[in-house]
Structure 1
């Protein structure tokens, strides 16, 4: 479903941006915890690394288009 109303689209974008930022920070935090526990070679750490990279790429795209 595509949102036609501009105000609703902006609100949806802001929610998405907050979601991406929060998840990026959560991934960083969890990676730091795992690293401090010596678990930086685990599958969980790798999954958080992948998530961090994905969210970082999304934030970089937003910056590319001057959205943030």
Structure 2
């Protein structure tokens, strides 16, 4: 039972790392496009939608006290 709990915790931690990485990557790509004046492109809008979705997921982590480092 303990082994399964540790495995599950590791999976949650890995998921959080992946979401944070995707969020950071999305923000960087959006900043690059914005600097190029491409805020009205489909790519920028898709990235914006992805950013909102990632923020929603992170808000759940935050609500349940699962985020260690706040940015």
TM-score (structure 2 length as normaliser): 0.87
Q: 2: distance between equivalents of 1:25 and 1:51?
A: 11
Deviations 1:16-54 (A, max 9, x none): 000000001111000000000111100000000011111
Other-structure match for 2:20 = 21
Displacement, 1:67? 1.1
Structure 1 spans left out of the alignment, 5+ residues: none
The list of structure 1 runs, each at least 4 consecutive aligned residues, that deviate by more than 3 angstroms after superposition, is none
Q: In the alignment, what sits opposite 2:38?
A: 39
Can you give the 5+ residue segments of structure 2 that lack an aligned partner in the other structure?
A: none
Question: Which runs of structure 2 are paired with 1:1-68 in the superposition (5 Å)?
Answer: 5-68=4-67
For the residues of structure 2 that align with 1:57 and 1:44, how far apart are their CA atoms? 20
- Structure 1 distance, partners of 2:38, 2:13, is 34
The alignment yields a C-alpha RMSD, in angstroms, of 1.1
TM-score with structure 1 length normalisation?
Answer: 0.91
